[in-house]
Amino acid sequence: MSAAPQAAARQRVALIGLGAIGQRLAAMLLARPDAFELVGALVFDAAQGARDVPALAPLLVADAAALLACRPDVVVECAGHQAVDAHVETVLRGGCDLVLVSVGSLADAARLARLDAAARAGACQVQLVSGAIGGLDWLGAAHSAGLDEVTYRGRKPPQAWLGTAAAERVDLASLQAATCFFRGSAREAATLFPLNANVAATVGLATLGLDLTRVELWADPGVRDNVHEVEAQGAAGQLTLRLINRPDPQNPRTSQITAHSALHTLLRRRAAVAL
């Protein structure tokens, strides 16, 4: 008779970034001490971070070397493109797996090549979160079967586009009707709107690539939530997907579901049976 299986060990997790996504994810990790141990959090200014999130002050570090010294099993990046450039290669070359929330950063081909090389050098993996979009399993399978075209359409309230290049294209404050202010490729969308278009990059990477996946971005005063739509067709069939995500109260540019998507990724990593 075989011995009873041992309980899965707690996963040691470290974070890069404690903004809206990082704080939400940190709270969820701390609420699951059976599954996770939060061992460190890298922030731009540890002293300021301690004032902003005093409960996490003992865990704060200011560079990737110090984060690796916390001996995490996995690091979750949730701090944006600059943090990817500043810290992620060091984490990967240090041999630590990484979960990447800022998928739009991979629209830069040179950055993607650097992360690929760093992961190979460290014999580890970069795992992308699905974030605010769904259907990636079908899209990936359909890509293998043969996809003809894919369009992603992102629709958000005008205020969610404040502080982005959208403000240079339309008067966000006076919009009375839904307005499409960008049509182009997923690479262009993720490059021009790095704080808003992670989903565009995710869909592109899962399907036809960043240059062939078409994207529309809309500012819509008629919606309160972040709306994501995907249309795809190919040899295996066609997909029409519409998701309505509640915006994060701390940052309307992102969706509440994004932090939960990162948590789901971490849970799959430790599960004996995973979907």
Residues marked as catalytic: 228
List the structure tokens of 183.
Answer: 């049509």
Cα 49 to Cα 44, 68, 83: the distances in Å are 8, 19, 15
- Please, are residues 85 and 111 in contact by the beta-carbon 8 Å criterion? yes
Residue 37 and residue 5: Cα distance in Å, rounded?
A: 21
Residue 4 and residue 29: Cα distance in Å, rounded?
A: 27
Phi and psi, residue 161, nearest 5°: -100, 0
Beta strands in 59-129 (DSSP E): 60-61, 74-77, 97-100, 126-128
Of 100, 94, 45, 51, the C-alpha closest to 265 is 100
List the structure tokens of 67.
Answer: 């984060």
